[in-house]
Structure 1
């Protein structure tokens, strides 16, 4: 990884004014609630400079995904090199990678990075639309997860990747062990999809030795599109600012909880979370309903 700094034509004063730089490698959501759009909004809200490598274009709205078109591997590589070789990055987040070829190309690029990497192993959309080819699962397991500083699967993605089905909090440790076996340094098992628990949204962060149970109230706000992207991007933003992993994930959980609480109706289906809530620009839902959680 390289980038211009105070020794390459930028003064120390200029360098001090540059916010931490975070790169998202993910698909575009034309409805603006998830994907690249959610990532960049989150990064801005948390005081970092967001940059993007677009891996796929989707036709997507509050009702679902109407179409998805992966970009050529060459285009993804060129975007990555363009950003990293000139500007440099202090954290990377991956999202929708669509195909085995893209997964492997991105994993190869990240293998040479010294920046922390947050892997959101996106498999399906909020509406149940497939965003990762079944043929790509093995590449995620053997190529992408080993380069992850933090992996953030939801319960469905845990099952998809490992075969482990977590039906209660008692299963979270087993789920975490199964994901960690593929090589990420840390894993967040996201419990937002846990059935039968109406009171709390519970996540487990662990590296196999340390455990951090993260809890937040769960409310009935259905406008939760983009929660997984938002959480992973928030973790990456906090890592870019120098937080250790437990502090970064805890802060990201707090941010996404507030964003869910302020989620708003958009279109005829599931609306997005409000990425700007922490900037004092919330839709008013937070004040009306209180904190909420349930990230996917």
Structure 2
């Protein structure tokens, strides 16, 4: 009888909010992580009531429940990478930061602060706590232009504006920053990767003519976390994450799902679960 061979899999933990319509939050994260070939796990931080037309309400999750979720996962499956999304209270910021202070894997933080309609989703004191406690733990943060504007305290609308605030963002404590250009009003969308001690890297893509972009930020951050989990460098993970989102948007451009901004097609070309033989 041949010896049985056991295998490990790359694991990614999503710490984020809920989306019952399936396009954003932990639903988008799980789809993305799975499509890239990693094993997805979830910690629920909040219960937004939302669909493709917007966020209707947000119900809080008991902070003790979030801490217990984290402890339960970590005692059993240690994540290779973590994606953090919606963190909507100072107490929750403290709980997550304290729990992850000695974490040895990679952390991608998508600072969810502004809704698609332009409304701030969290209070100023929570934003301050995020900058002070979570940014220093992150290998990379992935703000869009609305979130960058909140972080720097002034409108950031054009590529030149993004370049002008680059140093300010990198000085906020994270190891790297990806300024996402998805909201630029141009046919070519430019995102900028900033890393300490390195020249800025520019990534360009053509704007896709579609309204199906719901959950694109959640998808990108979880894609980057997934590529980091399989051992890619931050630059390669970012480039591949952006390419994944572009193809997912392209694959959904003619779909009709919901009455508003529809979701991405996360399974445009899914991978099998990646495995490695144990030593």
Moved more, 123-132 or 259-268: 123-132
Whether contact under 8 Å (2:15, 2:43) holds in the other structure is yes
The within-5 A match list for 1:264-279 is 264-279=255-270
Counterpart check, 1:159 vs 2:149: yes
Whether contact under 8 Å (1:25, 1:95) holds in the other structure is yes
Partner of 1:218: 207
When normalised by structure 1's length, the TM-score is 0.86
- Match among 71, 74, 82 for residue 84 of structure 1: 74
Partner of 2:175: 185
CA drift of 1:72 comes to: 1.3
- Match among 182, 207, 218 for residue 195 of structure 2: 207
Q: What is the CA–CA distance in structure 2 between the aligned matches of 1:152 and 1:130, rounded to whole Å?
A: 17
The within-5 A match list for 1:1-296 is 13-14=5-6, 17-195=7-185, 197=186, 199-210=187-198, 211-263=200-252, 264-279=255-270
> Which consecutive unaligned segments of at least 5 residues does structure 1 have?
1-10, 281-296
- Residue by residue over 1:66-108, the C-alpha shift from the partner in whole angstroms, topping out at 9 and shown as x without a partner, is 1111211111111111111211110000001111111221122
- Residue by residue over 1:123-171, the C-alpha shift from the partner in whole angstroms, topping out at 9 and shown as x without a partner, is 1232445432333110111111111100000111011112243332223
Q: What is the CA–CA distance in structure 2 between the aligned matches of 1:265 and 1:201, rounded to whole Å?
A: 24
Distance 1:12 1:164, change over 3 A: farther
Q: What is the CA–CA distance in structure 1 between the aligned matches of 2:44 and 2:143, rounded to whole Å?
A: 21
Whether contact under 8 Å (1:164, 1:175) holds in the other structure is no
The total of aligned residue pairs comes to: 266
Q: Secondary structure at the match of 1:215?
A: strand
Moved more, 65-74 or 128-137: 128-137
Please report the RMSD computed on the Cα atoms of aligned residues, expressed in angstroms.
1.7
> Which consecutive unaligned segments of at least 5 residues does structure 2 have?
272-279
Q: Which has the higher contact order (CA 8 A, sep 6+)?
A: 2
Whether contact under 8 Å (2:37, 2:270) holds in the other structure is no
Whether contact under 8 Å (1:172, 1:189) holds in the other structure is yes
Whether contact under 8 Å (1:120, 1:151) holds in the other structure is yes
Q: Secondary structure at the match of 1:278?
A: coil
Whether contact under 8 Å (1:165, 1:175) holds in the other structure is no
Distance 1:73 1:266, change over 3 A: same
Partner of 2:274: none
Q: What is the CA–CA distance in structure 2 between the aligned matches of 1:259 and 1:266, rounded to whole Å?
A: 14
Distance 1:141 1:12, change over 3 A: farther
Moved more, 66-75 or 250-259: 66-75
Whether contact under 8 Å (1:43, 1:237) holds in the other structure is yes
Q: What is the CA–CA distance in structure 2 between the aligned matches of 1:278 and 1:20, rounded to whole Å?
A: 19
